[in-house]
Amino acid sequence: MSQVIEKNSSIVAHITMKLSDGSAADSTKVNNKPAKINLGNNTISPAFEAEIIGLSVGDTKEFTLAAKDAFGETNPDNLHYVEKSRFNEDAPAEVGNIITFTQPGGVELPGMVKEISGDSVTVDFNHPLAGQEVTFVLEIVEIN
């Protein structure tokens, strides 16, 4: 009998994520580096876990999750206003740019420039896929 994914499994899987318009948002197949996922430790949503419980190595499954179960809803508290003077030519304040900011303690946090108004730059620190329904295609490579 082949091993199946259980509640506290650790798996390795190729993951492709697609947006509601069908466009690919990201895929581990691009660099041929499958992702490691640990179930049962709250790093992925219960809805995601429920979709993959019972799958075996070699199985492929496609499923769609609402924003709250994928990368969460957009959190307005993750919008921050930054002085335009904090940007430079290596990290210009241009709408759409993703800039990495170093937080106290050396933690790096990427944010996307959403709006520029005078000397104030609005930076969104939500996950880029927050607030969006996401379709996942998983191909199970390994189960531990």
Amino acid in the structure at residue 79: L
pLDDT digits (tens, 9 = 90+) for 79-111: 999 999 999 998 899 999 999 988 888 888 899
State the average pLDDT over residues 58-83. 96
Reduced to 3 DSSP states, what percent helix, strand and coil does the chain have, rounded to the nearest 5? 10, 40, 45
How confident is the model at residue 103, as a pLDDT? 85
For residue 28, give Cα distances in angstroms to 41, 50, 120, 128.
22, 21, 36, 17
Whole-model pTM: value is 0.80
pLDDT at 10 over 70: yes
Domains of the chain: 10-72+129-143 (3.10.50.40), 76-124 (2.40.10.330)
Least confident of 49-53, 86-90, 119-123: 86-90
**Side-chain half-sphere exposure of 116, counting CA atoms within 13 A:** 14
Give percent above pLDDT 90 in the chain. Answer: 85
The CA distances from residue 7 to 12, 80, 114, 143, in Å, are 15, 37, 39, 12
In DSSP terms, which residues pair with 37 in a beta bridge? 11
Backbone angles phi, psi at 55, to 5 degrees: -75, 155
